[in-house]
Structure 1
Amino acid sequence: MASDRSHTSISAWRPPVPGITEVFHAHFTDHAYPAHTHDTWDLMILDDGSVNFALDRHRHGATGSTSVLLLPPGVPHDGRTVTESGFRKRNLYLDGSVLPQHLAGRAVDTPVLKDELLRGRIDQLHTALVHPGDGFEAESRLSFIRERLHFHLAKLQPRAPGREANQLAAELRELLDSRTHVGLSLHEAAATLHAHPTHLIRCFKQTYGLPPHAYLTGKRIEHARRLLLDGHRPAEVATTIGLHDQAHLNRHFTRHVGTTPARYQRTRTGSYPTTS
């Protein structure tokens, strides 16, 4: 009979997103972590199963896909499976630019957070991180996660858009329009416009009805449509409009247009369609 260890799987990578030092996805059936510490914050969600862990010599447990686990840097902890089926988890290791060290004590007191909004945002960030080239979206989602964690640990309420929202949104839209092909980071946009990242995103969404990363992607897809109808190859189009590669173009183009770039291009007739 095969060992349960044969069902263990892991993947790890370092995304080009400031604040995230590592992404780690794993399915463990009988693994037990020894007591250890991290230099970074460990932000974890479970996709299924249960986990039991000790943090600063106090035991905690989490089950299912509703909880968020936040383990602070420098504090000893372990971890182990609870059932034979083990658990599936996704971790983000975050540096001090996301959460400062002085919040570690509050995290020790409440390492398991029951927050569906936060859990959903973390799930969305992991989805963005799986696809190379979605850095602007990933930065945006991490910014809201950071804000939500500060809400829990430092009791900081997010700032609502005020009278300046429309002007700030217009300035960001102008910036995005000028950088459609080369792109920009959320940090760069916030620094240029002297605004906090999450406040900048909220102002944009309140004014235009969609987040800035979605606006930028839409602009790129519109340009892609024109280039494809002009006869340019999809691989060439992807780099021209500022996307990571053809796979990145295929994913976004299909979501926006309902077909792949190659199929879209094959519909070219060179003339207007006739009707009976």
Structure 2
Amino acid sequence: MSNHADEVQLWKTPLHGVECYAAQLYRHRFDKHFHDEYTIGMNRSGTGQCIHQGQRHYHHPGSFNCINPSEVHTGEVASHSDRWFFQNIYITPSALRQILTQLDQSAQSQLPCFSQMVVDDPSLQQAFQRAFCSLIDVSAGTLAQQTTLLHFLAQLLSRHLRPPAVNHPARREYQAIQQVRAYLEAHCAEAITVEELGSLVHLNPYYLIRCFHKQVGLPPHRYKQQCQLIKAKHSLNEEAAIATVALRCGFYDQSHLNRAFKKAYGLTPGQYRKAHR
């Protein structure tokens, strides 16, 4: 095992809904989690691996990681590598919708989805690096940051999006799981029982858990905790003490929040808050 320490850094950029993140990992393992933003990252050195939608993927230098919001995934250094260095740009759905308008691609009613998680497109590497470096450079200026980001996204989105989905009548179970997800998101800070969820959608609790896990990639209690973490991320932009944020978001105490936050994002709530100051 390497004696090197894992290093992560988060930047809040001047562009609304856009953040940057870099990680040099040796030992840390991201447990199953999801983001409420689009994740667009480039792998710089070493090799990473993850489980995404039930399949194992490897992230080799020069490849891109394109993850849609709410898609469950893990992340760690690949077993045959000693490290994994990657850089991510996070973009909220509302920010991407605005970007699509700027790119004159706003005609579609649905937000886009990437067609695959690992993208091999060497021609995008330079454009990504220019955008990333500009976004984290406080002296770059908004115009340069917007220009380099738009230039990169215009190429990425034109080549690697999934065709718009055709709406089909949804099965009862699919609709039930969507309803349960919405309920967990709205009530994530509260105590919830499986009987409560089963009664909500008129499904047997055990059958509901199986359907939920199969469709979402996490059991309901793990999905609820991810919603709590996202709620905590947003709350950390406010002035409340971290211990207060933990209780408001349904964690037992600050230590409980710290452990879950570090496991999911690779940094503590305090480090996340500092990056947003």
TM-score w.r.t. length of structure 2: 0.49
Relative contact order, CA 8 A, sep 6+: which one is greater? 2
TM-score w.r.t. length of structure 1: 0.50
